[in-house]
């Protein structure tokens, strides 16, 4: 007959076993093995375009004096962020697709979640600040050098990175303190926070509340800044008498507006409405959810340098200069 101490000890051990998991299994596209090699080639190609395209933009913004302005300073930050974001998840996704190695350690999952959430939060703020920069440049051009001084731009960018890191630290800490019992299969390409929350076997009300607050601060507020900035920009442009001036103003804003629409269109679909615990308890993501996540995680960073290169003559000229080594006319 076992003593009460032995029973208590056994119960404690069982509780510990149910609370902690050593790692997770990323399901990815394992249910579609025949197309994994196709996705490997596609994602690898996109990743190379991301590295090259954003790398060229960063190099151009540093070495070309024509791009030493607040708009291109923020663009350089955005390009660096896209490289960091994709590099935190794409290499592991490629390894899992080609080698069938789908396991990730608990700490590795936490790091991946932190980096992904931090980069996403920071990008929201950067897009909002880029919209404000365009507002000042077009609606208040005489005071633009004073308002958007180098010190101010560095502070704005630094606050974006710091705020994104703090937000991600809070969200990641709350997610990884949860109990996951014996369920450690993540039906996703990466340790995406909502996919991890689906595995929790304890109350996630606090996670939902903090994520709603995060959505307001990092999704809604920057989006409002973008919306009202472009409303004022549109009003100012329509009042211009010069057709050339209107065209120039539109051309400087079109690239950023396109990037913002693509970014927010995908991220709002995934994160704007935190699901209830009942919905989070479902085991399967629809194929469309995975494709949207892939679009947000890979396609959007790939399109950013392409859009800015095609729709901005200064960037286009700087890239030509870097590639051809010919003076910019």
In this structure, which CATH number among 1.10.10.10, 1.20.1250.20, 1.20.1070.10, 3.40.50.720 belongs to the domain 23-268+288-309? 1.20.1070.10
Averaged over 61-82, what is the pLDDT?
A: 89
Q: What is the pLDDT of residues 5-24, one digit of tens each?
A: 444 344 444 444 444 567 88
- DSSP codes joined into one string, 99-152: H---EEEHHHHHHHHHHHHHHHHHHHHHHHHHHHHHHHHHHSGGGHHHHT-HHH
Nearest to 237 by CA among 222, 228, 247, 229: 247
Average pLDDT taken over every residue of the chain: 81
- 181-211: pLDDT as tens digits: 777 888 777 888 888 888 888 889 999 999 9
pLDDT of residue 139: 92
Collapse the DSSP code of 204 into the 3-class scheme (helix H, G, I; strand E, B; otherwise coil) and give the result.
coil
**Could you tell me the pLDDT band of residue 280, with boundaries at 50, 70 and 90?**
very low
- The SS3 assignment for 58 reads helix
What does the pLDDT read at residue 178? Answer: 87
- Whole-number pLDDT of residue 21: 64
- Is there a contact between 114 and 193 (Cβ–Cβ < 8 Å)? no
For residue 318, the model assigns a pLDDT of: 77
Delimit the domains of the chain by residue range: 23-268+288-309
Nearest in space to 127 (alpha carbons), one of 277, 317, 266 = 266
Give 240 or 269, the one with higher predicted confidence: 240
**Above pLDDT 70, what percent of the chain?**
82
- pTM reported for the whole predicted model: 0.84
**For the chain, what's the residue count?**
329
- Asked whether residue 233 carries a pLDDT value surpassing 80, the answer given is yes
Torsion of CA 66, 67, 70, 75, to 10 degrees: 160
CB atoms within 10 A of CB 19: 14
Q: Tell me which long-range contacts 320-328 makes (C-beta under 8 A, separation of at least 24).
A: 321/60, 321/64, 322/56, 322/59, 322/60, 322/63, 322/64, 328/64, 328/66
Q: Could you report the per-residue pLDDT of 139-183, keeping only the tens digit for each?
A: 999 999 999 999 999 999 999 999 999 999 999 999 988 888 777
């Amino acid at each position: 007959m076992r003593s009460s101490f032995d029973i208590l000890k056994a119960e404690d051990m069982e509780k510990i076993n149910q609370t902690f998991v050593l790692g997770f299994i990323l399901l990815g596209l394992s249910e579609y093995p025949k197309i994994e090699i196709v996705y490997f080639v596609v994602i690898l190609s996109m990743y190379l375009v991301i590295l090259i395209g954003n790398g060229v933009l960063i190099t151009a913004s540093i070495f070309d004096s024509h791009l030493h302005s607040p708009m291109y300073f923020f663009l350089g930050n955005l390009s660096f962020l896209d490289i960091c974001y994709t590099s935190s998840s794409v290499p592991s996704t490629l390894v899992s697709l080609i080698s069938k190695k789908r396991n990730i350690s608990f700490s590795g999952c936490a790091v991946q979640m932190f980096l992904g959430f931090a980069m996403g939060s920071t990008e929201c703020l950067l897009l909002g600040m880029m919209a404000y920069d365009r507002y000042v440049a077009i609606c208040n051009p005489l005071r633009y050098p004073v308002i958007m001084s180098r010190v101010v731009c560095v502070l704005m960018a630094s606050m974006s990175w710091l705020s994104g890191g703090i937000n991600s630290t809070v969200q990641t800490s709350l997610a990884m303190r949860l109990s996951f019992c014996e369920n450690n299969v993540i039906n996703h390409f990466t340790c995406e926070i909502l996919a991890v929350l689906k595995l929790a076997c304890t109350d996630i009300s606090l996670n939902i509340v903090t994520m709603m607050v995060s959505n307001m601060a990092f999704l809604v507020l920057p989006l409002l800044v973008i919306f009202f900035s472009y409303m004022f920009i549109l009003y100012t442009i329509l009042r211009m008498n010069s057709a050339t001036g209107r065209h120039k103003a539109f051309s400087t804003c079109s690239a950023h507006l396109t990037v913002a629409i693509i970014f927010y269109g995908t991220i709002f679909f995934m994160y704007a409405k935190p699901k209830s615990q009942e919905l989070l308890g479902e085991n399967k993501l629809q194929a469309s959810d995975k494709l949207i996540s892939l679009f947000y995680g890979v396609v959007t960073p790939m399109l950013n340098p392409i859009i800015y290169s095609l729709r901005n003559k200064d960037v286009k000229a700087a890239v030509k200069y870097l590639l051809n080594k010919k003076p910019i006319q």
